[in-house]
Amino acid sequence: MDKGDVVGIEYVIDMLGVRVETARKLFRDNKIPGAFRIGKSWLIHKPTFDQRIQTQIEDSRQRRQSTKPPPVPEVGSVSSEVTLPMSAKYAALLGPRVMKLRAARLRAARGE
C-alpha cells in the first residue's frame, strides 16, 4: 500500500457530499469500504473506496434502466374505456366517482 493510496475523511466528504458528522457515522457503522482508524483519525484505502463507489453507480444505472415505466397510452387509444395518464396512487386518492366524472367530461369534450 502506497502512501498515496490512503486518504483522510475529507476525501469521503467531497466524494459523497456529506457533512463531517455523517461521514464519521458511516465510518463507525462500517458502511465505508476500506476505512480504518488510527488513533482519532479515520483513513480510507482510496482504491477500495473508489471501486465500491463505481460499482454502486453502475448498479444504480442498471436498476434505473431495467425499471422504466411502460409507455402511457394516449387518451382515446382504447375504444371501450377512457384511460387517463395519471399515477394509480393519485387515481386511488380521487376515488372511482371522481374518475368517472373526469372520463365523462373528457368524452363530452371529444364529442362522443
Name the residue type at position 75: V
Residues 6 or more apart whose CB falls under 8 angstroms from that of 66 comprise none
Does residue 92 carry a pLDDT above 70?
no
Q: What is the pLDDT of residues 28-48, one digit of tens each?
A: 998 888 889 999 999 999 998
Side-chain-side CA neighbours of 8 within 13 Å: the count stands at 5
d(CA 35, CA 112): 67
Q: What is the pLDDT of residue 93?
A: 60
pTM value is 0.51
The pairing of strands 6-8 and 35-38 is unpaired
pLDDT of residue 79: 46
Assess contact for 70 and 56: CB atoms under 8 A: no
Q: Quick one: pLDDT at residue 80?
A: 47
pLDDT tens string 4-19: 789 999 988 888 888 9
